[in-house]
Structure 1
Amino acid sequence: MSDNILEEIFIKRSQQKKKTSPLNYKERIFVLTQEKIAYYDYDPDKGKRKGLKGTVDLEKIKCVETVQPEPTGPPERAYPFQIIYDEGPLYIFAKNEDVRAEWIKKLKEMVRFNKDLMQKYHPCFWVDGTWLCCQQEVKQAMGCKVLDGFTSKPSRRRGSRKPLPPTPQEEKSARPLPPQPPEQPSRFVGMTVIAEYEYTPMTPQDLELRKDEEYTILEMTDQNWWKARDKYGKEGYIPSNYVVEAGNGLERFDWYCKNMNRSQAENLLKTENKDGGFLVRDSSKAGKYTVSLFSKGGDVAGVCRHYNICTTPQGQFYLAEKHHFSSIPDLINYHQHNAAGMVSRLKYIVSNRAQPPSTAGLGYGVWEIDPRHLTFIKELGNGQFGVVKYGKWQGQHDVAIKMIKEGCMSEDDFIEEAKIMMKLRHENLVQLYGVCTKQRPIYIVTEFLSNGCLLTYLREGLKQHPTSVQLLEMCKDVSEGMAYLESKQYIHRDLAARNCLVDGHGTVKVTDFGLSRYVLDDEYTSSAGTKFPVRWSPPEVLLYCKFSSKSDIWAYGVLMWEVYTLGRLPYERLNNTEIVEQVSRGLRLYRPQLANDKVYTIMTSCWGEKADERPTFQELAFAVQDLLYELQ
């Protein structure tokens, strides 16, 4: 076919067999396209492919690497490589090194923008219940070898045990600014997209979006703002997260609610209160989908049921064993007319599309905001940088405005990086919209989240006793936001429940990331009231003031503890001096009553004595996702 990029006969090792034997290895024809890898049965007599045996969507791939050959393997299995995705490792054997190198290079190029790329992998095979490289006996165990491009720096030690104040100038020279997001592949230029949301132009350079209408993409040099043309020939910039490629993906269907978790789905369905109300959301298992369905069925209050969409080995989708479909839209269409084993057929579409996502800035190229366009409505609190107020931009857009106290921040350095920080966009980060720097005090304008601080929400905002799923979803939100920051080389340095916010749907977002780097030493007091947040800090920060992504990992474990104690103060009976002494000797927080052993294991994995013993945020996000999947 003309859209095939690569096609080759490989030997494939079965992923399903518990024991490895010669029967596990079969020749398959592999075909690589822009969207997936498909492999087919192979007829050596006719030299042709037969039936489809399986597929892997490229967007689900987390790692592509070589594998060390089997110690006693035959010559035809001398050039193995692995494709890691949510189902585990797919082992493939090439005929020679050139073919293997060609496929690995092409695959790495095509998946380099995937959000779930791994930082560690297993260089040897998983054989008969054991990783040959590290002898671990858990198939989902963290990799034992760091991928090229991910390195850890040696610790810097000094004689004194007294913590030093952080030095922004030193940290700035040691760690470069995060890289600009890479340009999108040029193959997307010229594609047709459909608007998921209405967008009213904020600047003369912007283009209006009308829901469900088609637009042609002209330029993608900024990953957050694409230049487009509408059907009338008018051109301008549009927010890239407001559109979806025409004819591709579930985003064009109103029943698909991307980035919605189980608790949010239940709240939305119960609010609509329609028998047969449904939506489709991302499962907690990466790359999977769930149908959430509300049914009254004699129960006045009604109940929510959740059905995972399953996939056959041939790549077909089903909810009921006997009814398979080639696509998820076909499956939904069938079950809108037939219950087929569910408590009800899918009668009414319930959607959260009314609320558009945040844009990176308030218009293309807008990062300096005119303070005359801001209306201050009420004070939200007084944080470490100054007063925070709720307000409106141009009288209609909700914003939070931080009024920075004069003399507490290295303003020039921050203003320069604000342009880059605005390009950071993730559903679990509070979006920076812009700054007001032409007057003093300067303002930082961000997304406004109606449920406020996570710590207060845990203590006072939960209307009923939270479920285990709800608590784990909060932790998942933070881990995914931090995994994104980790990928951009940002260190938070003050991660805690007080520095996370909660939106109207219950989604948790991390805020104030990167700001502490610009706080002047003689003025810096963290939001915990000390030179740094002692109760959230690991030994290397308490003793040597060494901040890194691994110190953020420690703080995340403490944040999980805050979530599962509904906002209690860590080490509540100890003062700061006692915490420094006892944590350095091995003291760790106890298991909260609401946390089971698996949850507590994730927490304690964050509190390794040595920084390199702790997982990455990407690995933590996977671990939390797996637990959520078990609960659902």
Structure 2
Amino acid sequence: MWKFKDTVLCISLMKEGMDSHGYVDVYRYPHSHKCFMFFKIREMRTKVNLDPDAVLATQYSASQPDVSYESIWKCEQRKRQLQFKDKPLPPLPPEAFEDYTNKPRVIALCDFFARGPLDLPLKKSEEYIILEKYDPLWWRARDRHGNEGLIPRNYVTENKKSNLETYKWYCRNINRSQAELLLRQKPKEGAFVVRDSSRQGLLTLSMYSRAKGSHNGDILHYHIKQNHLGLYYVAENYLFSSVPELIEYHQHNAAGLITRLRYPVGSDGCTSAENTGLSYEEWGLNPSELLLLKELGRGQFGVVYLGKWKETIKVAIKTINEGAMSEDDFIEEAKLMMKLSHPKLVQLYGVCTHHKPLYVVTEFMENGCLLNYLRQRRGKLSRDVLLSMCQDVCEGMEYLERNGFIHRDLAARNCLVNVEHVVKVSDFGMARYVIDDQYISSSGAKFPVKWSSPEVFHFKKYSSKSDVWSFGVLMWEVFTEGKMPFETKSNAEVVREISQGNRLYRPHLASLPVYKVMYSCWHEKPEGRPTFAELTVTLRDLTEMT
């Protein structure tokens, strides 16, 4: 047997080089020049004290029972654990005591990149816990890693399997003609979308199909119905407990449909994502972070520019000329206006008050104002599309009505069109801050007499019902493709005509039912006019009929 002067090396060799028969391969250790053979340890038994605080000692005994190094090591580990078992654990963090079982859980509809130090980034399809609902636009949330911050409300939706907003094929805020436009942009056999029906509480399945050899496809609309047991169906023989189950089945089986549902067509869930605003803490915007790119036009208050915020986000920047408006009053009101958020309203992001002129920063709408949009496309827009535009405006105005907000200057010139051809209401509430004698006086050319109700041009009495009158005129503008109401008459003549009970004529593109809707808005008495909520239902019914 070889005797090792270095006991540590001996133990190392035995632990690392010993095979199942007790042999050590000394050739694995070239630094030991005295070892050139295999040797077998038979009688030697070793007892090793592995306590690091004790002196390493080795004893040899022929009668010592066989003890493995692994068992010795485990024994020492248990000793150490016993030594520290009475040592107190560090205190739990405060959040460990919070109960999140009753906190709402949401799913991110799309990615959100933090725009300020208070924001929490979102990743599409991941779950988040809502800790506090700050206001209608921003909520405080926690992610799965424990990070907390503010998130935009319209980037998330409730995390439930039955929640349709989590599915790509569901588009809540589109009507029949918008669904057809969407499907014709991607004309694939079996392309489909699910949307809210004009009938309250019902859904419609719209799908594209093209006959063999045909270049023009058909778009079919199926109502998703429920039977007396609450089961959903499109074809009566195929019943499902939920709409997602119905869609999943028909994605694999036509079963009563013209073809199976092959391609879901819809938004990514964030059609109004940019409507959130720049950031929760960004009220007084820093002018150095705003870049003016090009002039878009001149409005009532000043020049309007296409711009960028922090070099990434496209915005519209309205400059307010000095003396054009009551700035202090507007700034206070704008803080409330920022909280108004709807897919059919142009979102106000913030106001830059650091210098003159004042900057008003809003959502950028690629296709400009509705009036110019109509005039540039005369003869190219179908009646369905025109009716869809009126429905967009009506939905935005219904939201303002529900929140007790009066527009005061509703007209095609004050509505904008985005890249997806959706019309949104703009400049709501701005008219009351105008400092202009001609605008205020009904005798001046600037006052919008041709859009005003009798109680407005006689008594300056504004209400949601005076907005309804203006909406009727806006419908007339849409169905005449941008003509001027009472184009040959002066303001004074218009006042006289209206007071005598005369109204605008029926445009040739407007069907009789459509003209009846706009005519109902022109009742002499405010109480005789419909509400925007009622108008929304009526227009949805007309949309489904066309």
- Above 0.5 in TM-score? yes
* Deviates further, 516-525 or 301-310: 516-525
Match of 1:563 in 2: 478
Match of 1:507 in 2: 422
Structure-to-structure mapping, 1:292-331, within 5 angstroms: 292-298=206-212, 299-331=214-246
TM-aligned CA deviation for residue 370 of structure 1? 1.0
TM-aligned CA deviation for residue 525 of structure 1? 6.8
Secondary structure of the 1:563 match is: helix
Paired with 1:224 and 1:460, the residues of 2 have a C-alpha distance of 35
Paired with 1:341 and 1:468, the residues of 2 have a C-alpha distance of 31
Q: Aligned AA for 1:198? A: D
Paired with 1:408 and 1:527, the residues of 2 have a C-alpha distance of 18
1:549-575, Cα deviation, whole Å (9 max, x unpaired) = 221111110001111111111112212
TM-aligned CA deviation for residue 258 of structure 1? 2.3
1:570-616, Cα deviation, whole Å (9 max, x unpaired) = 11221212111111111101111111221111111111111221111
1:358-383, Cα deviation, whole Å (9 max, x unpaired) = 33321113221111111112211111
Match of 2:188 in 1: 274
TM-aligned CA deviation for residue 245 of structure 1? 1.0
1:283 is matched with which residue: 197, 202, 205? 197
Match of 1:365 in 2: 281
1:225 is matched with which residue: 124, 133, 138? 138
The verdict on how the C-alpha distance between 1:273 and 1:630 changes in structure 2, with shifts beyond 3 A counting, is: closer
Match of 1:471 in 2: 386
Asked if the contact 1:189–1:220 (Cα under 8 Å) also holds between the matched residues in 2, the reply is: no
Unpaired runs of 5+ in structure 2? 1-99
Q: Aligned AA for 2:511? A: N
Paired with 1:461 and 1:449, the residues of 2 have a C-alpha distance of 17
Paired with 2:240 and 2:391, the residues of 1 have a C-alpha distance of 31
Match of 1:412 in 2: 328
Does residue 1:375 correspond to 2:291, yes or no? Answer: yes
Asked if the contact 1:294–1:304 (Cα under 8 Å) also holds between the matched residues in 2, the reply is: yes
Aligned residues: 445
1:201 is matched with which residue: 103, 106, 114? 114
Paired with 2:117 and 2:348, the residues of 1 have a C-alpha distance of 21
Match of 1:213 in 2: 126
Paired with 1:564 and 1:409, the residues of 2 have a C-alpha distance of 33
1:159-214, Cα deviation, whole Å (9 max, x unpaired) = xxxxxxxxxxxxxxxxxxxxxxxxxxxx9961111101110011100000000001
1:241 is matched with which residue: 137, 154, 166? 154
Secondary structure of the 2:140 match is: strand
Asked if the contact 2:292–2:305 (Cα under 8 Å) also holds between the matched residues in 1, the reply is: yes
Match of 2:316 in 1: 400
Paired with 1:354 and 1:427, the residues of 2 have a C-alpha distance of 12
Secondary structure of the 1:379 match is: strand
Asked if the contact 2:316–2:361 (Cα under 8 Å) also holds between the matched residues in 1, the reply is: yes
Unpaired runs of 5+ in structure 1? 1-186
Structure-to-structure mapping, 1:482-561, within 5 angstroms: 482-522=397-437, 524=439, 530-561=445-476
Paired with 2:271 and 2:516, the residues of 1 have a C-alpha distance of 37
Q: Aligned AA for 1:268? A: L
Match of 2:104 in 1: 191
**Bigger fraction of residues in helix:** 2
Paired with 2:442 and 2:416, the residues of 1 have a C-alpha distance of 14
TM-aligned CA deviation for residue 529 of structure 1? 7.4
Asked if the contact 1:189–1:219 (Cα under 8 Å) also holds between the matched residues in 2, the reply is: no
Secondary structure of the 2:350 match is: strand
1:484-513, Cα deviation, whole Å (9 max, x unpaired) = 111222221110011101111121110000
TM-aligned CA deviation for residue 416 of structure 1? 1.1
Structure-to-structure mapping, 1:111-260, within 5 angstroms: 190-247=103-160, 248-260=162-174
Paired with 1:458 and 1:308, the residues of 2 have a C-alpha distance of 32
The verdict on how the C-alpha distance between 1:359 and 1:528 changes in structure 2, with shifts beyond 3 A counting, is: farther
1:446 is matched with which residue: 345, 350, 362? 362
Q: Aligned AA for 1:352? A: S
Paired with 1:526 and 1:389, the residues of 2 have a C-alpha distance of 29
**Bigger fraction of residues in strand:** 1
Asked if the contact 1:194–1:245 (Cα under 8 Å) also holds between the matched residues in 2, the reply is: yes
1:39-66, Cα deviation, whole Å (9 max, x unpaired) = xxxxxxxxxxxxxxxxxxxxxxxxxxxx
Paired with 1:457 and 1:565, the residues of 2 have a C-alpha distance of 12
Match of 1:425 in 2: 341
Paired with 1:328 and 1:567, the residues of 2 have a C-alpha distance of 41
Asked if the contact 1:189–1:218 (Cα under 8 Å) also holds between the matched residues in 2, the reply is: no
Secondary structure of the 1:473 match is: helix
Paired with 1:469 and 1:285, the residues of 2 have a C-alpha distance of 18
1:580 is matched with which residue: 470, 495, 504? 495
1:457 is matched with which residue: 373, 391, 405? 373
RMSD: 2.2
1:272-298, Cα deviation, whole Å (9 max, x unpaired) = 232211121222333221112122222
TM-aligned CA deviation for residue 521 of structure 1? 4.1
The verdict on how the C-alpha distance between 1:356 and 1:588 changes in structure 2, with shifts beyond 3 A counting, is: closer
Structure with the greater alpha carbon radius of gyration: 2
Q: Aligned AA for 1:231? A: R
Give the alignment's TM-score, normalised by structure 2: 0.78
Secondary structure of the 2:119 match is: coil
Paired with 2:457 and 2:257, the residues of 1 have a C-alpha distance of 55
The verdict on how the C-alpha distance between 1:228 and 1:355 changes in structure 2, with shifts beyond 3 A counting, is: closer
What is the percentage of aligned positions where both structures have the same residue?
Answer: 54
TM-aligned CA deviation for residue 526 of structure 1? 10
Asked if the contact 1:239–1:359 (Cα under 8 Å) also holds between the matched residues in 2, the reply is: no
